[in-house]
Amino acid sequence: MKLFSMLPQKFTDRIANETGLTLTENYKEPGIISIVIRKNKTGGIDDPTEYLVTPQNCIVIAGTPDKTGIAFSNRATKAGVPEDNIFLLPAGQRLSVNAIIEKILSIQQNILANDNDEDVFIFEDEEESAGPAPVTNRIKVIAVRGFRGGVGTTTITTSLAMLLHENGGKIAVVDLGIPPNAKHHCGNPQFDKKDGFLLAQTEYWDLYVPPAPVWKLNSDKIGPLIDILRKEYRWVVVDFSPQPDYKHIQSVEADKTVVVIDSDVVQSIEPAAIKNALFVYNKAIPDIGTEIVEDILGQNVITIKTDFEGCYAALASGEPAYKKSETIAMGMGKLAAKIQT
């Protein structure tokens, strides 16, 4: 997903880094997120209309609510920009970059929710058909991995699944952890047998767990299950053990892999060895900042600061940390946006 911004470059760069968006200067590109600003000392424009190609994805900073600012705002509204995306600021009031980032994350989640709509079958007359229907490469299966226990793979798995659940679509979580702990994040449900696995239908998602310890699980049992789940669910999120069997990884054939790291293991990672990887720097500490981790890995990471209070509250209530930790919820918004790009 791309971002067109009229903000000063230092703010634009920070927003792109925090949201995972790729910068573009082509404001006419459909589907991009745009930040459009009324003309001021640092730049901007007099009329926003031309720049509102995808109005629901636009953020409009109309300046002060004087005659010119109100007219600027009204043009944006008429073009289809939601009122919540338009900022009219009293003289002297500042608009924080964090407020813009939060608004962009909200837009990204709306885009993700719309993408979760079921595919629609369109009948075409055989004589008019120009050929086979196009193949869609939608992301469906997401693997979550770590390189040692305790980095938070299950927290990330269940929190991501919770966000996807809130955005609509049927969710499956496959817990291949040692031990399988995802059940503690959805109320410790009861299990029944299905497709060679144990299945618990919870309030948030359907949870699949191997009937025996994962190290005893043959890889030929995993592939067929994932094939079934691809057809039945919009999203399938697989939580792996810290050092999974390579055959298990191959059997899942994930469309995207989320690698969860912390400050203790970051230097032992080889990013190029993991296909389609997105890195989450979890339990981030001040002594090892995002810039250091990105320099070691040679790529961007999603940083989630330590929030023991929120995580403990979630476990105590049998819910995903996403519901109890604002820090984790924001991180999941960024992660979901990256998964879609």
User: How many CA atoms lie less than 13 Å away from 114 in the CB half-sphere?
Assistant: 8
d(CA 228, CA 224): 6
Which of 115, 132, 157 corresponds to the end of one domain? 115
- Would residue 190 count as lying in a domain? yes
Residues 67 and 109 in one domain: yes
List the one residue out of 210, 240, 217 whose CA is nearest residue 143: 240
Question: CB of 56 within 8 A of CB of 80?
Answer: yes
Q: For residue 260, what is the domain's CATH number?
A: 3.40.50.300
Residues 195 and 101 in one domain: no
* Domain boundaries, position 176: 141-340
- Would residue 96 count as lying in a domain? yes
Q: How far is CA 227 from CA 135, 150, 233, in A?
A: 17, 29, 10
Residues 12 and 76 in one domain: yes
Q: Is the pTM of this model over 0.95?
A: no
Residues 146 and 87 in one domain: no
- Would residue 25 count as lying in a domain? yes
Residues 103 and 228 in one domain: no
Q: Which tokens sit at 62?
A: 């109309």
Residues 269 and 212 in one domain: yes
d(CA 213, CA 199): 15
- Would residue 131 count as lying in a domain? no
d(CA 269, CA 261): 9
Residues 261 and 146 in one domain: yes
d(CA 228, CA 212): 20
- Would residue 81 count as lying in a domain? yes
- Strand ordering across the sheet containing 2-5: 22-23, 2-5, 33-37, 58-63, 86-88
pLDDT, mean over the chain: 84
* Beta carbons within 10 angstroms of residue 31's beta carbon: 10
Residues 105 and 169 in one domain: no
- Type and span of the H or E element at 261: strand 256-261
Residues 167 and 95 in one domain: no
Question: CB of 34 within 8 A of CB of 50?
Answer: no
pLDDT at 20: 83
- Would residue 308 count as lying in a domain? yes
Q: For residue 49, what is the domain's CATH number?
A: 3.40.50
Q: How far is CA 318 from CA 158, 171, 175, 237, in A?
A: 11, 18, 16, 19
pLDDT at 341: 62
- Would residue 134 count as lying in a domain? no
Low-confidence ranges of the chain (pLDDT < 50): 117-137
d(CA 7, CA 273): 37
Kindly report, residue by residue over 292-327, the tens digit of the pLDDT: 888 888 888 999 988 989 999 999 999 999 999 989
Residues 159 and 291 in one domain: yes
DSSP class of 14: H
d(CA 193, CA 341): 36
One-character DSSP codes across 168-219 = SS-EEEEEE-SS--GGGGTT----EEETTEEEEE-SS-EEEE-SS-GGG--H
pLDDT at 272: 59
Give the count of domains, the chain: 2
Q: Which tokens sit at 120?
A: 């629609």
Residues 218 and 271 in one domain: yes
- Would residue 122 count as lying in a domain? no
Which of 115, 132, 167 corresponds to the end of one domain? 115
Which of 115, 131, 163 corresponds to the end of one domain? 115
d(CA 111, CA 121): 21
Residues 85 and 147 in one domain: no
